Amino acid sequence: MHFRPLIFFLEIGWALSLLLPPPHLCWAVSGSDDPAAIQTTPAIASEVHLYFADDNNSFLTTEQRKISHGPNATAFATAIIRALIEGPRKALVRTLPAGTKLRAVYVLSDGRCFVDLSAAVRRKHPGGCHTELLTIYSVVNSLILNIAEIKTVKLLINGTQALTLAGHVDIQSAIAANMLLIR
């Protein structure tokens, strides 16, 4: 008699396990607002070039890293931004301030990408025109040079358009890659 509740819960657990995806699958959103667009797909591992500041904070330098992501440009862009927020693994300088959070990423079919970062990106930024340029182009170059679907990047702070990130560089318009800052 005491085993009946245990058997019931084991049967429920078994039934739920049939409904859930295997652990090697991840959830991916296609960028659509349609709930039916959410599907389970195998994670993809890609070699990417992330752009961080060099030790003199003069130029952007690449750090090659393998990251896992979903099958569409939005999921790939999300993984890249999260890796930038995590910071470099070798002797480079972080470009996004510690405490910055990714609020959302949207990639439109026309090649525009919107990246919405928390207010910490502004509040904790060390300041200076050149450092602000490196922060902006760390994000922009990392996305555009790794994801063919992305042509320009528009930065948002806490869901709203901002004039600048830290007082110097205009971010009101979408931004294209800048190869002149890379060494």
* pLDDT 10s digits, 11-31: 544 444 444 444 333 333 334
Q: pLDDT by residue (tens digit) across 124-147?
A: 999 899 999 999 999 999 999 999
State which amino acid sits at residue 15: A
Dihedral sign of CA atoms 6, 12, 18, 21 in order:
negative
Ranges of residues in the chain whose predicted pLDDT is under 50? 1, 6, 9-10, 12-39
Give the C-alpha separation, 154 to 173, whole Å: 6
The H or E element containing residue 7 is helix 3-19
Which residue in 49, 79, 43 sits closest to 62, CA to CA? 49
DSSP assignment of 42-104 equals E-EEEEEEEEEE-TTSSSEEEEEEEEEE-SSHHHHHHHHHHHHHH--SSS-B-SSPTT--EEE
pTM: 0.78
Q: Which residues of 11-48 are buried (b: 16+ CB within 10 A; e: fewer)?
A: eeeeeeeeeeeeeeebebbbbeeeeeeeeeeeebeeeb
User: Under DSSP, is residue 154 helix (H, G, I), strand (E, B) or coil?
Assistant: strand
User: Under DSSP, is residue 116 helix (H, G, I), strand (E, B) or coil?
Assistant: strand
State which amino acid sits at residue 168: H
Can you read off the two tokens belonging to residue 151? 């042509």
pLDDT of residue 40: 53
pLDDT of residue 43: 87
